[in-house]
């Protein structure tokens, strides 16, 4: 794996595939990868890393330069929020009001406002975490949410089905974009809502995701190589 070439490849893919007047960021998904690999990506300009486990995220944050943005993309348990609240830049995987309440609480303890995405369930599979569109609106409409001063919802995250059926994947990404556009009309910016991000697309489906309006692609194996668990 040539990390430098892979990063350059993806930056180029983003430029050529993204709709005009829109930007899309490259997130390096570094889960399971040793620090050496992250350091190499950093050397070649990567400043946003995404991890799916709290402990690993905290350990890597401690070890690496402080101008890195750290994103959490995996399922987050409420009792672990406190370990990442001091530094995390974006939590992609908010899937309950209870979790959001805990992030809010820990953010305020740290004197911060933590940006969050609501993870929306768009895949056909049963196993993926996430909210339905009704549940997401339920969060925005809840009295608890209206009082939260330690979080800001900056957009949505979704994962398409793990399939080779491109039509199906495109349909799922389109559904996330459509829901995002509806929410933007319904919820103009407030103290804790500012909808601008759609986190969708991974190594296998990033092309479709960018074409369908992704603002953040989460690329792991196509940058760093296969993960060894």
Among 59, 124, 162, 221, contact with ligand PLP (rule: CB under 6 A) = 221
The yes or no reply on residue 203 touching ligand PLP (CB under 6 A) is yes
Q: Which stretch binds ligand PLP (CB under 6 A): 34-42, 120-128, 160-168, 215-223?
A: 215-223
Region class of 111: left (phi > 0), else alpha (psi between -120 and 50), else beta? left
Nearer to ligand PLP, 27 or 148 (CB): 27
In angstroms, what CA-CA distances link 179 with 121, 198, 203? Answer: 11, 10, 23
Query: Min. distance of Cβ 74 from ligand PLP in angstroms?
Result: 6
Q: Which stretch binds ligand PLP (CB under 6 A): 83-91, 107-115, 161-169, 218-226?
A: 218-226
Q: Which residues, at least 6 apart from 148, have a Cβ–Cβ distance to it below 8 Å?
A: 100, 101, 104, 192
Query: Min. distance of Cβ 111 from ligand PLP in angstroms?
Result: 29
Q: How far is Cα 135 from Cα 67, in angstroms, rounded to an integer? A: 35
Please report, as residue ranges, which positions from 146 to 165 form the binding site for ligand PLP (by CB under 6 A).
Answer: 159
**Residue 153's beta-bridge partner residues?**
116, 193
Q: How far is Cα 207 from Cα 210, in angstroms, rounded to an integer? A: 5
**Which residue has its beta carbon closest to ligand PLP?**
220
* CA–centroid distance for 121 within its chain: 14
Among 3, 24, 29, 160, contact with ligand PLP (rule: CB under 6 A) = 29
Q: How far is Cα 134 from Cα 2, in angstroms, rounded to an integer? A: 43
Nearer to ligand PLP, 26 or 148 (CB): 26
Q: Which stretch binds ligand PLP (CB under 6 A): 2-10, 15-23, 136-144, 198-206?
A: 198-206
144: closest CA among 106, 111, 114, 99?
99
The yes or no reply on residue 74 touching ligand PLP (CB under 6 A) is yes
Helix (H) or strand (E) holding 91: strand 90-94
Interaction site with ligand PLP (CB under 6 A): 29, 31, 52, 73-74, 159, 202-204, 218-222
């Amino acid at each position: 794996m040539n990390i430098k070439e892979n990063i350059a490849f993806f930056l180029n893919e983003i430029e050529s595939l993204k709709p005009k007047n829109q930007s899309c960021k490259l997130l390096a998904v570094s889960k399971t990868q040793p620090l050496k690999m992250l350091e190499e990506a950093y050397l070649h300009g990567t400043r946003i890393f995404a991890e799916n486990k709290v402990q690993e995220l905290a350990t890597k944050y401690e070890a690496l330069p402080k101008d890195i943005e750290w994103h959490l993309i995996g399922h987050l348990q409420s009792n672990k929020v406190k370990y990442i609240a001091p530094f995390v830049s974006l939590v992609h995987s908010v899937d309950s009001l209870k979790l959001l309440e805990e992030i809010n609480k820990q953010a305020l303890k740290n004197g911060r406002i933590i940006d969050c995405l609501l993870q929306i369930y768009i895949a056909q599979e049963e196993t993926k975490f996430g909210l339905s569109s009704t549940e997401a609106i339920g969060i925005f409409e809840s009295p608890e949410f209206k009082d939260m001063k330690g979080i800001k919802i900056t957009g949505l995250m979704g994962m398409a089905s793990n399939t080779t059926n491109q039509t199906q994947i495109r349909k799922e990404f389109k559904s996330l974009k459509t829901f995002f556009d509806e929410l933007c009309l319904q919820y103009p910016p407030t103290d804790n809502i500012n909808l601008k991000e759609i986190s969708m697309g991974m190594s296998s489906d990033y092309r479709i995701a960018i074409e369908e309006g992704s603002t953040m692609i989460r690329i792991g194996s196509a940058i760093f190589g296969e993960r060894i668990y």
